[in-house]
Structures are given as structure tokens and as C-alpha cells.
Amino acid sequence: MKHYIATPTRTKAILNKYKFTFKKSLGQNFLVDVNILQNIVHHAGVSSSSGVIEIGPGIGALTEQLAIHAEKVVAFEIDQRLLPVLQDTLHPYKNVEIIHEDILKADVKSAIEKHFHPGQEIRVVANLPYYITTPILMKLLEEKLPVKSITVMIQKEVAARMAAKPETKDYGSLSVAVQYYTESEVAMTVPRTVFMPPPNVDSAILHLQMRPSPPVHVKDEKLFFQLVRASFMQRRKTLMNNLKSYFKDVYDKQLLEDILKRAEIDGTRRGETLNLEEFASLANVLYEMTK
């Protein structure tokens, strides 16, 4: 077996060499199991012609496995202390580009245009820090990047929320957003014991296949997502009560009642019982009656 980065011995040696200390604020937990990394690459569908975007390469454990299988890897790393480490650990791989930037502030579209061939199949693969999973994924989805799929290792509970179906406790505005843009599946769960240091939670690998177009037609996306967020404001409240308190300064109660009636949705239901089609229909009626 090659002397891969993702073994406990090699990881410890790298951390000692650079006197690296983990920053809790950046959610740093490094994977020390090569099989799991190879599984991630496999579930991501990475091939020798793929271009890959990675977020938070750490000391390069996943980056290395991606570099072996993909044509090119572009990794965004926010922690300046890791740049010399990555230069060292990824030295054998000439198809890796490290960008020192916060992914939330980065112009990912421009990076894709700059580093990959026109029309190349691009996949996002990352072991995401738990504390910032949702903003990163929402940015990647909302910017409608030319990517084929997003495969991320994230907290198990968050993965469950993203893949949840209506009428379940995990179903919420995040589930609706993810399912609007992608087809999602939890590919596998990952125990906390394969990380250094071990996090307090188990992880899961979530695979999001981008849809060529959303499964429902929405006249105003911004309004659609606003309405979805409003419906889940307080899970125990009815749809009507949530909409009333969220839109209190914008629409009166009578108008909201008319909208629900016209969309044929019972206002005493809870947000978690509505599926994608019902949210779309409600948003479209709201759009027509208020524009």
C-alpha cells in the first residue's frame, strides 16, 4: 500500500512536523481512513476526465485520493497555516491547485472558467466543517454552478434533513431547497472514530445529483424560498399562523386566506406536510395575487 496521507501514523507525523494545532473555530477534523476516502471518490462518480472542486482540503487526505482519480482538482482552503503543509503533502500531484480563499466569498464560477476546460464534467467533493455546512451548500446550489454533482461528508443529522421527505421530523426548508435543485441520497454513514481528533457526532456522505431543471415550475424563486422558510418558522404552528407572523408587515390576514383557498391548501395544516408541488403552487398563487 502506498504511503497515503490518510493514515493515523502519517497524519500525526505531518501535524508534528508543522506543529499544527486544530482550530475549533474552523471545525477541523482530519480523516485517517483511506478506504472511506476512496469510497467518497467512488460515490462522487469521479473519473479520469473529471474536474473536481474541493472545499477545505486540510492536510490533503481527500485531495490526494481525488488527484489520483480526477484530471484536475481545485481546492479552496481558508486556513493560511495549511498552505505550506499542502504544498508539501501534495507535492507529487501536479494536477492540484490550491486557492487560499473563503469558499463563501469566492467567485466559484470564475474559478471553474479559469481552471477547467469548457464543457468539462465538474464535481464538487468535500469533507465539510459541520458549523458551516448549510451556508456552503446553499451558496453552491443558489449560484447554479455548472457542476454535475456535489458529494459531501457532513454531520449525519444534517444529511438526514437534506434527504428528508414530507411528514417526517427531519423535513424542513433545507430539505425543500436541496430537493428543488438536486436528487439527494445518503450514500453511507461514517463513524466518528475515523477522524483526528474525533468529532462529537457521526458523519454521513451525502450525494446530490444536480437536476437539469427543477421538478416544479416556480414564477419567482426568491418568493418561493421565502414562503418555504415562513412555513417552517415554528414547526408546531399551522401554516396559516406561520405565514401570518412572517408576512405580518406585508400582507393582511384576508389576503393570505384567499391565497390558501385559491391554491386549495388547508391553512390548518403544518408546513412539514406540504410537498414541493404544493409549495410551488402556493408561491405561484401568492406571486399572481400580489404582483
92 prior amide bond cis, ω within 30:
no
Q: Is 29 annotated as a binding residue?
A: yes
Is the Cβ–Cβ distance between 138 and 194 less than 8 Å? no
Q: Is 275 annotated as a binding residue?
A: no
SS3 44: helix
Q: Is 102 annotated as a binding residue?
A: yes
Between 253-262 and 239-246, two packed helices, what is the crossing angle to 10 degrees? 130
Q: Is 56 annotated as a binding residue?
A: yes
| Residue 253 CB partners (closer than 8 Å, separation 6+) | 244
Q: How far apart are CA 223 and CA 284, in angstroms?
A: 9
Q: What grid cell was written down for 76?
A: 479552496
Question: Cell 507529487 belongs to which residue?
Answer: 92
Q: Is 267 annotated as a binding residue?
A: no
Nearest to 183 by CA among 138, 144, 148, 139: 148
Q: Is 200 annotated as a binding residue?
A: no
Binding residues: 29, 31, 56, 77, 102, 127
| Annotated binding residues for S-adenosyl-L-methionine | 29, 31, 56, 77, 102, 127
